[in-house]
Amino acid sequence: MLMGTAPQSLDPGLDYTSEGAEVNWLVYTGLTTYRHANGTAGTELIPGLATALPVISDGGKTYTVTLRPGLVFSNGAPVVASDFTHTVERAIRIPWGGSAEFITSVIAGAEAYAARKATTISGIATNDATGRIVIHLTAPYGPFDNVLAFPALGLIPAGTPFTAQPTNPPPGVGPYEVTDIVPNQSFSVVRNPGWRGLGITDIPSGHLDFHIRIQTNQAANALAVLDNSADVFDWSDTVPGALLAQIRATAARRFRMVSLGDSTYFVFLNSAEKPFSSQLAREAVVTGLNRDAIERLGSGTVQPACFLLSPNVPGHLSGAHCPYGGPGRGNLARARALVRRSGMAGQPVSVWTQTRQPMLNWMTYYTQFLNSLGFKATLKQIASATYWSTIGEERTVHPQTGFGSWLEDFPDPVDFYGVLLDGRAITPTSNENFGEVDDAHINSVVAELGPTPTTGLGTVAGKWQALERYVARKAYVGVLGYVKYPEFASDRIDYRAVIFHPLYGWDLSSLRFAA
């Protein structure tokens, strides 16, 4: 398998990338996990190391589970309930990228522990004799059972150092383990020989071992899979557009572009700064955007759309009419008229972009488009490795507009709205609400619906859809579309058996050789 970008880390207490999660969810099983299945079936939560899904009580503030008996780590050491406490503490101390949002602010006592005002997390109680784990939250948080499925909360042994272990990650409990790590060059993902004996039948033990090489030349990676000198092209990489026709012509049986329904591409529009503090100026953008051009420039890596929630998220609007037309070629004449009415014609605009393709192509087009509307737009390129941290410096950088994307942490609308558009999510650093949207209606809906448990999302999907329509009418974001990923393998792989998971891409445990 070839990866164009290395995982942030193969230590789950640090990694917060799609490349790392693809591997780590098979190595570090949480108290809950996801079904190994294609499509929306893969978004179903199932018990992981717990005997059943959490029992939720106290108005949504208390989660109780019991560990399966006889669990052992990949090194043979027994698993006990207090290992969970250590796992959470370590994710806070390192810290893991999602710890502030999903752990520290959610679990009772975690903020005191993070501030070193407490020696442990008071909201977690465990019993090693019975395997019982009780977690108290500061307030009801509907997707907390999804949080428990993060690889970062997959159990590791108590005593594991509170520092990342990049070349020797801790043992986990899962069907695979990671070995032979050469940083930024290669690593292996091999089957855990003790997994099958644990009897967790909903989590398959896998058919193959994998040697993964990091090679940044994605064209060379695609050609290697095309000529069968490598077996798997990583799902989170991009097949260069110049190679698509050749691949489709000679490898149609083992290549396709797939929308997993988990990610959205958009341009953010800073509603707190001119010119996009004007709703008319924002409407001009979403009215005139040529999403067909976006699809073409991205070589088929985007499914044009105009609503924020991606297809596998409850509340997604499937087939709904876009309030300002599209998706399609856009209406330039109407968009120019809106700019004139807004009084913002001639306003300078900096368009922020990372240097990675196709994002750079998209934002180059977008800059030209803004100029055609009557703005004075210039392109501001930031190295891809530092792009998100740069535009997230809200206290010093107030980006007017630019490229944004969201790969869901879990299939719940609050993961989109609570991070990207809730005014309470605006932070001085590491800000994700790039448009600085602080709308009382959005804030109140997120506060009302956020505590809804995952199992009850169907009962409030209509309210999320209403919010989708409201945000589209207010033109707070210019949605480009939903991400499409390459499912591309060699002739050796049994393509019919592949599970392309809606959260993790390649389900490596499903891959096997063709007969």
415, HSE (Cβ side, Cα atoms, 13 Å): 28
In three-state secondary structure terms, 370 is helix
Domain 263-483: give its CATH superfamily. Dipeptide-binding Protein; Domain 3 (3.10.105.10)
Q: Which residues contact 185 (CB under 8 A, 6 or more apart)?
A: 213, 214
b (16+ CB within 10 A) / e for 198-232: bebeebbbbebebebebbeebeebbbbbbeeebbb
What is the rounded CA–CA span in Å between residue 202 and residue 121?
31
- pTM (2 d.p.): 0.91
Structure tokens belonging to residue 218: 């994605």
Contact 270, 506 (CB under 8 A): no
**By three-state DSSP, how is residue 473 classified?**
helix
DSSP secondary structure string for all residues of 375-419: -EEEEEEE-GGGHHHHHT-TTT----EEEEEEE-SSS-HHHHHHH
How many Cβ atoms sit within 10 Å of the Cβ of residue 130? 11
**Positive or negative CA dihedral for 102, 105, 109, 110?**
positive
Q: Each residue of 473-508: b (16+ CB within 10 Å) or e?
A: ebbbbbbbbbbbbbbbbbeebebeebbbbbbbbbbb
CA angle 65-70-75, nearest 5°?
110
Cβ 168 vs Cβ 182: under 8 Å: no
Q: Where are the domains of the chain?
A: 263-483
In the chain, how many H helices and how many E strands? 15, 21
339 and 373 in contact (C-beta within 8 Å)? yes
The answer to whether the CB of 172 falls within 8 A of the CB of 76 is: no
pLDDT per residue of the chain (515 residues) written in tens, 0 to 9: 999 989 999 999 999 999 999 999 999 999 999 999 999 899 999 999 999 999 999 999 999 999 999 999 999 999 999 999 999 999 999 999 899 889 999 999 999 999 999 999 999 999 999 999 999 999 999 999 999 999 999 999 999 999 999 999 999 999 999 999 999 999 999 999 999 999 999 999 999 999 999 999 999 999 999 999 999 999 999 898 899 999 999 999 999 999 999 999 999 999 999 999 999 999 999 999 999 999 999 888 899 999 999 999 999 998 889 999 878 889 999 999 999 999 999 999 999 999 988 899 999 999 999 999 999 999 999 988 789 989 998 778 889 999 999 999 999 999 999 999 999 999 888 899 999 999 999 999 999 999 999 889 999 999 999 999 999 999 999 999 999 999 999 999 999 999 999 999 999 999 999 98
Structure-token pair, residue 463: 């309210």
